[in-house]
Structure formats: C-alpha cells, structure tokens
Amino acid sequence: MSGITGFLDHTHSINDNDLKLASESLLHRGTDGSKSVVEKKDHYTLALSNVRLATIDLSEKANQPFNSICNNYCITFNGTIYNYLELRESLIKYGIIFSTLSDTEVIIESYKKWGNKAFQMFDGSFAFALLDRKLNQLLVARDELGSKPLYFYKSKGFYAFGSEIKALLCYSNIKKEINKVAVRNFFRFGYFTDDETIFQNIYKFKKGVLTTIDLHSGNSYDSPLTWLNTSPKVTNTDSEDQILKKIEDLLTESILKRNVADVPTAVLLSGGYDSSMVAAILQKNQTKRIKTFTVGFNDEKFNEATQAKKVAEHLKTNHQDFYIDQDQAADILKDLPNVFDEPVGDSSAIALSFLGKNLNKDIKILLGAEGGDELFGGHRTYARAINLEELSSKKSPTLWEKLKLYYWKTTDKKVRTVLETDGLLNKYIEINACFSNEEIDNLLRFEDKAISARKPKANGIKDLLLHDLHNYLPDNLLVKSDKSFMNFAIESRDTILSTDLITYLATLDAKWFIKDGEQKYLLKQITHKYVPAEFIKKPKKGFVIPLASWLKTSFKPLVTKYVSEEKLREHQLFNVEAALDIKKKFYQNSNPTNAQKLWMMLQFQMWYERWMAKDKST
C-alpha cells in the first residue's frame, strides 16, 4: 500500500518543489519510506513518487518507485495483488529471477513477460503508474472495482495523477475551481458520481481502465484493463446446496488471499452478517486467535458493540471495542475536510476515522466486508423500490392497494415523488436521494445541471445490485474506507470483493437474493453455519453515528459558525434563505432526513473554508 503521485510535463512549468510538496501531502498514507524518480529529457519531464506503507516484503529493496533488474521498467503502485504468489511461481518456471519478495516486482515481471495481458491475470485492488522505457510509454491503471483511489488532471502538454486530490493541488499549474455539476450531484446523492470530483478538471480515474501515454507526444488512449462479466447469458441451474457450497468456497478463497501479509492484520467486526461471516471463516482457518475490533456508542439505539462482542466471544477472537463520545467525534469532524479533500456525505466516516486513530499503532491491515449488501441484496431499499414499482405499475390494483397509494400520495411527499418516478431504477435512486431535484433547484443559485446519462432499464433486484456495484460501492463506501483508514496508515482490504465471486453471483437467478421475503438469503445461510442467528438477526446499522443528537450538542458550534448567513454568502453558490431554512427545520424537527441535510450543508461549508476561501492556501 502506498500513496502515489507523478506527472508527465511537456510545458516545463513544474519544478522539483511541486513534486516534493505533492509527495509530502501523502505522507499520512505510508510511514515506511518516501522516494521519487525524476527523468528530465529535452522535450519532457517525467516524475514518479511513492510514500510506502510496507505490508508485503518489508525490506528497503522493495521500496518504490521500483525499477526492474533490467532497468527498462519502473512502477509506483498502491494496493495489493492477492494472487502474486501464484504469479511469482509461474514466472520463476520461465527462469525469471526476482530481487525481492514483493508483489510490486511481480507486476513488473508479469508485464515484462506477458505485456498488457498480464493485467487480466491480477486478482487485486490497485492503482499504478508503470514506466516502460523500451516503448517510451507511461501506463496508468486502476482495478475494475475501483477499490483504490486514483485522481488525474490533464491539460495540453501536462498530465498528473495522485492517490488523493490534495497531491494534485500541489502542482502549481493546477488551479482550484469548483465543479458545479458535481456540487449538484453531491447534494442529490451524498457522494460524487462517475468520474466527477468537486474540483473542475480534476477527475477520478475510471475503474478497470488502462491509459497508455506516449512520452514524446503526450498523446494517450484508453483501453479496458480487464473484463468483469456481470451479465452472463446462461442462468445457473445448481441446487441450493450446490450454490451455498460454491459461494462459501469462493468466499473462503477470497478472505484467505486478502489476509496474506508480512504485518499484523485484524477484522473490522460490526456484528452484522457480512463482517461476522468474514471473521468466522478467517478464524476457522487460523490456528491462533484473530484480532477483531469495533466501534461503540453510548447511545444504545446506535450501538452495535454489544452485538459484535457476542459474535467475537462465540468465535473466540481476540476482540477489542472502542467507544467514541460526542467530543471526540467533534474533533474528528473538524479534520474531515483535510482527510477527504471533498465534502463527505456519509457521516459514518467519523466512526471509521476514530477507529483508525486508535488502531494505527497495533495493525497495518484491517479486513473489512464492504460489498456484502451490494453483492447479496442486503439494502432494505431494494425491496422497498421493487414493492413500490410493482404497486404503482399494477393495471388492476385492489381497493386496499388503491387506498394505500392514495394515502401515501397525500401524506408523504417523498413517497409521492418516488411513486411518480418512472421505472424501477429511477424509483430506487429517488428513494436513496438526499435532496429531491426540486429542493436542489431551490438551494442552488446556479442552473448547471448534471447531464444525465441514459439509465439502463432495471427489471429486478439484480439490476439494482449491478447499479450499486458500479456507483454507490466504489464512489461512496470504498472511498470512505480508504481515506478514513489510510489517513492513519492502515490498509483497508475488502475481503469479499472477489471478481470470481461477483462473476458467479451474476449467474444466479434473482430469487436467490430475496427469497420468501428474506433479503441477503444466501449469505445469511452461510453465516448461520458459524454464528447463531439470534446473535446477528437485528436491523443493520453499519456504524451509523447518533448524528441528530450530536448536531444538537457537540457539533452545534460548528453548525453555528459555518451554516451562518455570513459564511453562506462568501461563495454565492446557495440561496441563503433556503440554506438557513435547512438548519431551522432540523432544530424544529431533528428527524434523520433533516439531520442528513444539515450534515451535508455543514460538510460543504467546512470543505469550502478549508480549500476554497481566499485566505486559505492549498
């Protein structure tokens, strides 16, 4: 794991100090060495930099940027190749000699042997820039699920990349401008969609893409890195027992691969199905007690620590919980703009950051279970969207159904908006939206609207899962995990995001994801083999913080400061009256919806103060 940055400059406008500042801005991501490679030619300057978090082969010989033995290739790499040992063995059979035991060198030697086809062999989470001195090319790539962050900036004669936006902002020719389309999408969804960021002309590197850049001309082209088959033509006809065995085998393989490391690892245990299953399978395959950790809250309505402790005791793990109070949460909140570089809509980032702060002296790798809901159908809003779509599209509803529709449409504005939205996917998106389009129109002073890509038609839960796999999972959940933990030099590994598992699940009929009204049916059956249902059969919380309570107590001074008329008028982006009304409505009625809206206002305002206010520097 690492923080990476670099550039290809044909304009001769970037100096060595820019690279130094960019690299230093990522020092929190790695505590095991920092190094840069700079190659100055007549027509261009190329730079690669790396801040290392050593997890595989801890020797200095494995530091990055890493040069091949033949010196034709050089790489700066963030992530882990989980099947590197198998690839290494294959390469040794071809007579290839390795100078390290690192997965970094396996990438270079695989590329040297097989070219771009090597990238299709990787089972991993990664983002890298690989210099091919023989072909005079720079290859930049990111894994197909977007597990590791990578951002880039491109203008005439200049290309730069970085693990975090703050690194790009250190290059003197990159100017800070607000992306108004992204602002709108942030308030709509609570995160930044597709390849957009809050900054104009700074983009997220696309998932599963390889960009090849010619060093001399600067010309580039994109090509698919790998191909994830999520729409197979043949439906699986296996029996339930066969399906469960196959999934358990794939889960076991994925979890064990992602536990390979030369440093201590632990499991993030929430007490829910996903993390309980990960801990159970890992403990089953270990001779010593694994470490598990969780976050607790003093407010029992939000506290999952008690549940997690029961699971840990049952599995006999070495467990520890950390309770966060409102004052500690406020301290973390103040630092979120520095950590994320963008407004963050998911307030559970506070809980994860708190855990990272408490763990960074004990472990370097935390095994998580992100993706369980998106792969197996766990979100309650899946069933809600399907039910509302079925009800609203019925040609001959019963009298009772007509009465329900009439009641909802006349008493619940949110449900009325959902019911009036066309199609299952659009209904699902509307259910999860933080602000309605009407509310956003009222809030924003500008009219730049997102150009909506044509949404594919959704026919059932599998299409909703696919939508979240490509959107909510990488753009919100994985970003949150990476930045919350890597801010404290802890690698977050997503143990169930295996392409083999995803490909297999795609072959299954929709009935297996919600069976007899039971969501996440398959994963629950597997988990119950290891953990009694009474320990975990409770509504999922997922480290949700007591947001409404804290907005009225320890967060309130920040709300008062940042969501004020004076601060709101600084950027001229909002209708001030509408913004102040969001705050007023929350303190009149502190329900979760109003709390979320105020949180997002606060996040945007704090981000603006840190990154865009005139008296602030990058």
User: Would 393 be classed as within a structural domain?
Assistant: no
Task: Say yes or no: 303 and 354 in one domain.
Answer: yes
Residue where a domain stops, chosen among 518, 536, 554? 536
176 and 50 co-located in one domain: yes
Q: What torsion do the CA atoms of 589, 591, 594, 598 make, to the nearest 10 degrees? A: 90
Q: Are residues 84 and 113 in the same domain?
A: yes
- CA-CA distances (angstroms) from residue 55 to 260, 265, 359, 388? 9, 10, 16, 47
Within a domain: 359: yes
If asked whether residues 260 and 117 sit together in one domain, one would say no
Residue 421 lies in a domain: no
Concatenated DSSP letters of 140-192: EEE-TT--S--EEEEETTEEEEESSHHHHTTSTT----B-HHHHHHHHHHSS-
In a domain, 289, yes or no: yes
In this structure, what token pair is assigned to residue 561? Answer: 């400061």
Question: What pLDDT, on the 0 to 100 scale, is given for residue 411?
Answer: 66
Pairing label, strands 137-142, 209-214: antiparallel
Q: Do the bridges between strand 124-132 and strand 73-81 make them parallel or antiparallel, or are there none, so unpaired? A: antiparallel
Establish if 285 belongs to a structural domain: yes
Residue 131's DSSP bridge partners are 74, 138
**Spatial separation of the C-alpha atoms in residues 83 and 118, rounded to whole Å:** 12
Instruction: Identify the three-state secondary structure at position 367.
Output: strand
How much is the pLDDT for 617?
45
Cβ 463 vs Cβ 337: under 8 Å: no
The CATH number linked to 332 is 3.40.50.620
Torsion of CA 462, 281, 476, 124, to 10 degrees: -90
| DSSP assignment of 397-463 | --HHHHHHHHHHHHH-HHHHHHHTS-SHHHHHHHHH-SS-HHHHHHHBS------PPPPPPP-SHHH
3 state SS for 513-538: CEECCEECHHHHHHHCCCCCHHHHCC
- The Cβ of residue 43 has, within 10 Å, a number of other Cβ atoms equal to 11
Residues 530 and 556 in one domain: no
Query: Which uninterrupted H or E stretch holds 37?
Result: strand 34-40
Q: Which of 536, 556, 579 is the last residue of a domain?
A: 536
- Compute the distance between CA of residue 395 and CA of residue 390 in angstroms, rounded to an integer: 10
The residues facing 67 across adjacent strands are: 74
| Single residue among 164, 194, 224 that ends a domain in this structure | 224
Query: What's the rounded Cα separation, in Å, for the pair 348 and 481?
Result: 10
Are residues 63 and 164 both part of a single domain?
yes
Instruction: Give the number of domains in the chain.
Output: 3
What does the block give as tokens for 199? 């900054």
Same-domain pairing of 49 and 186:
yes
Same domain membership, residue 358 and residue 304 = yes
**57's torsion region: left (phi>0), alpha (psi -120 to 50) or beta?**
left
301: exposed, middle or buried (Cβ count in 10 Å: 0-12, 13-18, 19+): exposed
Same domain, 206 and 135: yes
- CA atoms of 29 and 127, how far apart (whole Å): 14
For 48, what's the count of Cα atoms within 13 Å in the CB-facing half-sphere?
A: 23
In whole angstroms, give the CA distance from residue 221 to residue 137: 11
End-to-end CA distance of the chain: 25
Q: How far apart are CA 536 and CA 270, in angstroms?
A: 10
Question: Per DSSP, which regions of 445-601 are E strands?
Answer: 491-494, 514-515, 518-519
| Domain annotation covers residue 396 | no
- Let me know whether 167 and 289 are in one domain: no
Integer Cα distance of 567 and 430 in angstroms? 30
- Give the domain extent around 523: 240-377+472-536
d(CA 281, CA 161): 37
Cis previous bond, 65, omega within 30: yes
Report the chain (618 residues): mean pLDDT per 10 consecutive residues.
94 92 96 94 96 95 96 97 97 96 98 95 96 98 95 97 98 95 96 96 96 96 84 82 97 97 95 95 96 94 92 96 97 97 97 95 94 95 92 76 68 81 92 94 81 64 95 96 97 95 94 93 96 82 88 98 96 96 96 96 98 66
pLDDT of residue 433: 95
At a CB cut-off of 8 Å and minimum separation 6, what does 535 contact? 271, 276, 307, 310, 311, 314
Task: State the Cα–Cα distance between residues 29 and 19, nearest whole angstrom.
Answer: 16
- Examine the domain organization and report whether 159 and 53 are in the same domain: yes
CATH of the domain at 204: 3.60.20.10
- Cα–Cα distance measured from residue 595 to residue 527, given in angstroms and rounded to the nearest whole number: 34
CB hemisphere CA count around 192 (13 angstroms):
26
Q: Which amino acid is at 563?
A: V
Q: Look at residue 278 and tell me if it is in a domain.
A: yes
| Structural domain contains residue 136 | yes
Q: How far apart are CA 562 and CA 568, in angstroms?
A: 8
Distances (CA, A) of 102 to 99, 363, 367: 9, 19, 20
**What one-character-per-residue DSSP string does 426-438 give?**
HHHHHHH-SS-HH
pLDDT of residue 535: 87
Same domain, 115 and 90: yes
What would the two tokens of residue 498 be? 């295996």
- Per residue in 474-502, pLDDT (tens digit) is 999 999 999 999 999 999 999 999 999 99
